[in-house]
Amino acid sequence: TAELTAELTAELTARKKQYHYYRDLLLTFEEGEVEWKTLGEVCELQRGRRLVKSQLEDIGAFAVYQNSLTPLGYYDKSNVQSETTFIICAGAAGEIGYSKSCIWAADDVHFVVTPDHILNKFVYYVLLTQQHLIFGQVRRASVPRLSKTVLEKLPIPIPPLSEQERIVAILDKFDALTTS
């Protein structure tokens, strides 16, 4: 079983490496190939709303994200639509999440609202390629923090919607392979 575990671990590592390579390749564009804007120019970053711990439940309809990609608890309302990218801005500052279902974003979370010509999931994948830059901008203090201004200044490529859809479909398949 140790040999089998080692083989499976090696296979998973290889798949993740391949996924990152293709993700970066698909999201790299030549000069003049696409328009580049900042995240703040093309999307709206909204901050979540604070909840106190006594408002949270152990189980419930909507996961509450505060300072990590692990839900802090559950709440009976949501403030973020499904299919939305969100960024943790305190604690595990710089972590990037994507929620397929509606969630509650607390006050240390910013979420991305995209216009019709930009897929939210495309923004998610682009931000993942820039995660090292994002982590580099986290203010290290007793509680690590990431400012909204830093996020708004991130460069984002804007290919045609059909190309965004193609890239997202490919990356979703790769993601499913690496996590299955």
Task: List, for residues 135-165, the tens digit of each pLDDT value.
Answer: 999 998 888 999 999 999 999 999 999 999 9
Long-range contacts, stretch 4-12, CB < 8 angstroms, 24+ apart: 12/178
Specify whether the CB–CB gap between 63 and 109 falls below 8 A. no
Q: Average pLDDT, stretch 105-123?
A: 97
Report the distance separating Cα 161 and Cα 116, nearest Å. Answer: 9
Report the distance separating Cα 15 and Cα 177, nearest Å. Answer: 8
| pLDDT at residue 163, as a whole number | 96
| pLDDT at residue 169, as a whole number | 96
Count CB-CB contacts under 10 A for residue 20: 14
DSSP assigned state of 159: -
| pLDDT at residue 47, as a whole number | 97
Instruction: Please say if the pLDDT value at position 180 is more than 80.
Output: no
| pLDDT at residue 5, as a whole number | 87
pLDDT tens sequence across 10-36:
888 888 888 889 889 999 998 889 999
Strand order, beta sheet including 84-88: 44-47, 109-113, 84-88, 96-99
pLDDT tens sequence across 60-99:
899 999 999 999 999 999 999 999 999 999 999 999 999 9
pLDDT tens sequence across 35-66:
999 999 999 999 999 999 899 999 989 999 99
Which residues are 97's β-sheet partners?
86
